Structure 1
Amino acid sequence: MAEYLSPGVYIEEIDAGPRPIAGVSTSTAGMVGVTARGPYTGKPKLVTNFLEFQNTFGGFLPEPEASVRDAWANDPSEGGRWWLFPLAVKGFFDNGGRRLYVKRVVGGGARAASGSLGQGLVSQVTTDAARGAARLQLGHLVGFTGAGQQVQVFRGDDQQAVHTATVSGYDMATRRITLDQPLPAEVRASRGDYVQVGQRGDEQTLRFSAVSPGTWGGGVQVRVRPMVGAALPVLPEPQEGGLFVTRLVADAPEDSGTVEVAAVTGLDPDGLPADTWVQIGPDRFGVQVGRPADGKVTLTLPAGTTHTAWDAGLTVRRVRRGNTAAGRTLRIGGAGRLYEGAVVQLDDGTALTAVNVEAVTGDAVTFDRDVPGTFFETDRIHLIEAEVSTRFTDPGGAAVTETFGNLRFSGDTPANLATALESRSQLVRATALPGLSTDPARFPVPATGSWLTLADGDDAYESLSAADFVGTDGGSGRRTGIVALEDIDEIAVCAVPGMWSGTVESSLVTHCELLKDRFAILDPQDGLDIEGVQAFRESFDTKYAALYHPWLVTRDPSANRDVEVPPSGHMAGIYARVDVERGVHKAPANVVVRGIRQTDGFAQDITRRHQDLLNPKGVNALRFFPGLGHRVWGARTLSSDSSWKYVNVRRLFLFLEESIDEGTQWAVFEPNDESLWALVRQTVANFLTTVWRSGALAGTTADEAFFVACDRTTMTEDDLANGRLICVIGVAPVFPAEFVVFRIQQKTRETQLT
Structure 2
Amino acid sequence: MAEYLSPGVYIEEIDAGPRPIAGVSTSTAGMAGVTVRGPYTGKPKLVTNFLEFQNTFGGFLPEPDALIRDTWANDPKEGGRWWLFPLAVKGFFDNGGQRLYVKRVASRQATPASGVLGHGLVSPVARDAAKGATRLELGHLIGFSGVGQQIQLFRGDDQQVIHTAAVAAYDATAHRVELDAGLTAEVRAGRGDYVQIGARSAEETLEFTAVSPGSWGGAVQVRIQPMASAALPVLPDPQEGALFVTQLAADAAADSETVEVAAVAGLDPDDLPPDVWVQIGTGRFKVQVGQPADGKVTLTLPSGAAHEAWRRGLVVRRVRRGNTSAGPTLRVGGASRLYEGAVVQLDDGTHLTIRTVVAIAADLVTFDADVPGTLFETDRLHLVEAQVDARFADPSGAVVTESHPNLRLTGDAPANLVTTLAGRSQLVRAVALGALSTDPAKFPVPAVGSWLTLADGDDAYGGLSVADFVGEDGGSGKRTGIAALEDIDEVAVCAVPGVWSGTVESALVTHCELLRDRFAILDPQDGLDIEGVQAFREPFDTKYAALYHPWLVTRDPSTNRDVEVPPSGHMAGIYARVDVERGVHKAPANAVIRGIRLTDGIAQDITKRHQDLLNPKGINALRFFPGMGHRVWGARTLSSDSSWKYINVRRLFLYLEESIDEGTQWVVFEPNDEALWALVRQTVTNFLTTVWRSGALAGTTPDEAFFVACDRTTMTEDDLAGGRLICVIGVAPVFPAEFVIFRIQQKTRETQLA
Q: Which TM-score band (shorter chain)?
A: over 0.9
**Structure 2: which amino acid aligns with 1:186?**
E
Contact 1:21/1:659 (<8 A) preserved: yes
Contact 2:227/2:387 (<8 A) preserved: yes
Structure 2 gap ranges (5+): none
- Residues 417-446 of structure 1 deviation map (CA, whole Å, 9 limit, x = unaligned): 111111111111111111111111111111
Contact 2:476/2:487 (<8 A) preserved: yes
| Equivalent position of 2:292 in the other structure | 292
Contact 1:123/1:141 (<8 A) preserved: yes
Q: Determine if the alignment matches structure 1 residue 120 to structure 2 residue 120.
A: yes
| Equivalent position of 2:673 in the other structure | 673
User: C-alpha separation between the residues in 1 aligned to 2:751 and 2:745?
Assistant: 19
1:252 deviates by: 2.2
Secondary structure of 1:569 counterpart? helix
- Residues 333-368 of structure 1 deviation map (CA, whole Å, 9 limit, x = unaligned): 011111111110001112101111111111111111
User: C-alpha separation between the residues in 2 aligned to 1:466 and 1:592?
Assistant: 33
User: C-alpha separation between the residues in 2 aligned to 1:631 and 1:126?
Assistant: 58
Matches within 5 A, 1:613-628: 613-628=613-628
User: C-alpha separation between the residues in 2 aligned to 1:753 and 1:664?
Assistant: 65
**Structure 1: which amino acid aligns with 2:217?**
G
**Structure 2: which amino acid aligns with 1:250?**
A
**Structure 1: which amino acid aligns with 2:745?**
Q
1:616 deviates by: 0.8
- Residues 94-134 of structure 1 deviation map (CA, whole Å, 9 limit, x = unaligned): 11100000000000110101101111111122222222222
Q: Determine if the alignment matches structure 1 residue 530 to structure 2 residue 517.
A: no
| Equivalent position of 2:323 in the other structure | 323
Task: State the number of aligned residues.
Answer: 754
Secondary structure of 1:200 counterpart? strand
| Equivalent position of 1:260 in the other structure | 260
| Equivalent position of 2:24 in the other structure | 24
User: C-alpha separation between the residues in 2 aligned to 1:465 and 1:368?
Assistant: 57
Contact 2:492/2:519 (<8 A) preserved: yes
Superposed CA RMSD: 1.3
Matches within 5 A, 1:351-500: 351-500=351-500
User: C-alpha separation between the residues in 2 aligned to 1:751 and 1:49?
Assistant: 64
Secondary structure of 1:190 counterpart? coil
Query: 128-137 or 228-237: which moved more?
Result: 128-137
| Equivalent position of 1:48 in the other structure | 48
User: C-alpha separation between the residues in 1 aligned to 2:240 and 2:337?
Assistant: 25
User: C-alpha separation between the residues in 2 aligned to 1:125 and 1:360?
Assistant: 35
Identity %, equivalent residues: 81
Contact 1:247/1:314 (<8 A) preserved: yes
Matches within 5 A, 1:232-243: 232-243=232-243
Query: 163-172 or 475-484: which moved more?
Result: 163-172
| Equivalent position of 2:333 in the other structure | 333
| Equivalent position of 1:194 in the other structure | 194
User: C-alpha separation between the residues in 2 aligned to 1:491 and 1:253?
Assistant: 84
Matches within 5 A, 1:152-167: 152-167=152-167
Secondary structure of 1:198 counterpart? strand
Query: 148-157 or 378-387: which moved more?
Result: 148-157
User: C-alpha separation between the residues in 1 aligned to 2:384 and 2:745?
Assistant: 94
| Equivalent position of 1:14 in the other structure | 14
User: C-alpha separation between the residues in 1 aligned to 2:156 and 2:66?
Assistant: 40
Q: 1:200 to 1:751 in 2, by over 3 A?
A: closer
User: C-alpha separation between the residues in 2 aligned to 1:49 and 1:623?
Assistant: 27
**Structure 2: which amino acid aligns with 1:725?**
L
Contact 2:170/2:176 (<8 A) preserved: yes
User: C-alpha separation between the residues in 1 aligned to 2:560 and 2:186?
Assistant: 44
**Structure 1: which amino acid aligns with 2:716?**
T
User: C-alpha separation between the residues in 2 aligned to 1:126 and 1:500?
Assistant: 54
| Equivalent position of 1:580 in the other structure | 580
Q: 1:284 to 1:222 in 2, by over 3 A?
A: same
- Residues 692-711 of structure 1 deviation map (CA, whole Å, 9 limit, x = unaligned): 00000000000000000001
User: C-alpha separation between the residues in 2 aligned to 1:247 and 1:129?
Assistant: 39
User: C-alpha separation between the residues in 1 aligned to 2:518 and 2:559?
Assistant: 35
User: C-alpha separation between the residues in 2 aligned to 1:127 and 1:220?
Assistant: 24
User: C-alpha separation between the residues in 1 aligned to 2:690 and 2:485?
Assistant: 30
Contact 2:239/2:324 (<8 A) preserved: no
User: C-alpha separation between the residues in 1 aligned to 2:260 and 2:287?
Assistant: 12
**Structure 1: which amino acid aligns with 2:722?**
N
- Residues 162-213 of structure 1 deviation map (CA, whole Å, 9 limit, x = unaligned): 2112222222232222222222222222222211101111111111111111
1:750 deviates by: 4.9
Matches within 5 A, 1:540-579: 540-579=540-579
| Equivalent position of 2:173 in the other structure | 173
Contact 1:324/1:374 (<8 A) preserved: no
Q: 1:751 to 1:457 in 2, by over 3 A?
A: closer
**Structure 2: which amino acid aligns with 1:200?**
R
- Residues 55-110 of structure 1 deviation map (CA, whole Å, 9 limit, x = unaligned): 11011111111110111111111111100101110110111100000000000110
**Structure 2: which amino acid aligns with 1:25?**
S
User: C-alpha separation between the residues in 2 aligned to 1:15 and 1:412?
Assistant: 50
User: C-alpha separation between the residues in 1 aligned to 2:490 and 2:40?
Assistant: 20
1:611 deviates by: 1.0
Q: Determine if the alignment matches structure 1 residue 735 to structure 2 residue 735.
A: yes
TM-score normalised by the chain length of structure 1: 0.99
- Residues 461-519 of structure 1 deviation map (CA, whole Å, 9 limit, x = unaligned): 00000000000000000000000000000000000001110100000000000000000
| Equivalent position of 1:279 in the other structure | 279
1:751 deviates by: 8.1
**Structure 2: which amino acid aligns with 1:215?**
S
1:385 deviates by: 0.9
| Equivalent position of 1:136 in the other structure | 136
Contact 2:325/2:373 (<8 A) preserved: no
**Structure 2: which amino acid aligns with 1:667?**
V
| Equivalent position of 2:311 in the other structure | 311
User: C-alpha separation between the residues in 2 aligned to 1:62 and 1:556?
Assistant: 10
Secondary structure of 1:86 counterpart? helix
- Residues 295-346 of structure 1 deviation map (CA, whole Å, 9 limit, x = unaligned): 1111222334333332222111111111000111101001111111111000
**Structure 2: which amino acid aligns with 1:620?**
N
**Structure 1: which amino acid aligns with 2:688?**
L
**Structure 1: which amino acid aligns with 2:230?**
A
User: C-alpha separation between the residues in 1 aligned to 2:130 and 2:536?
Assistant: 74
**Structure 2: which amino acid aligns with 1:520?**
A
Secondary structure of 2:422 counterpart? helix
| Equivalent position of 2:634 in the other structure | 634
Contact 2:234/2:333 (<8 A) preserved: yes
Q: Determine if the alignment matches structure 1 residue 63 to structure 2 residue 29.
A: no
Secondary structure of 2:198 counterpart? coil
1:720 deviates by: 0.6
- Residues 8-48 of structure 1 deviation map (CA, whole Å, 9 limit, x = unaligned): 21111111111000000000000010000000100000000
Structure 1 gap ranges (5+): none
1:752 deviates by: 8.5
**Structure 2: which amino acid aligns with 1:231?**
A
Contact 2:498/2:565 (<8 A) preserved: yes
TM-score normalised by the chain length of structure 2: 0.99
Contact 2:134/2:179 (<8 A) preserved: yes
1:753 deviates by: 8.7
User: C-alpha separation between the residues in 2 aligned to 1:156 and 1:340?
Assistant: 37
Q: 1:263 to 1:4 in 2, by over 3 A?
A: same
User: C-alpha separation between the residues in 2 aligned to 1:231 and 1:751?
Assistant: 106
**Structure 2: which amino acid aligns with 1:121?**
L
Contact 2:261/2:296 (<8 A) preserved: yes
**Structure 2: which amino acid aligns with 1:390?**
A
User: C-alpha separation between the residues in 1 aligned to 2:638 and 2:185?
Assistant: 76
User: C-alpha separation between the residues in 2 aligned to 1:325 and 1:551?
Assistant: 85
Contact 1:359/1:367 (<8 A) preserved: yes
User: C-alpha separation between the residues in 2 aligned to 1:427 and 1:65?
Assistant: 26
| Equivalent position of 1:698 in the other structure | 698
- Residues 725-753 of structure 1 deviation map (CA, whole Å, 9 limit, x = unaligned): 00000000000011111111122335889
User: C-alpha separation between the residues in 2 aligned to 1:689 and 1:468?
Assistant: 45
1:562 deviates by: 1.0
Large movers: runs of 4+ above 4 Å: 750-754
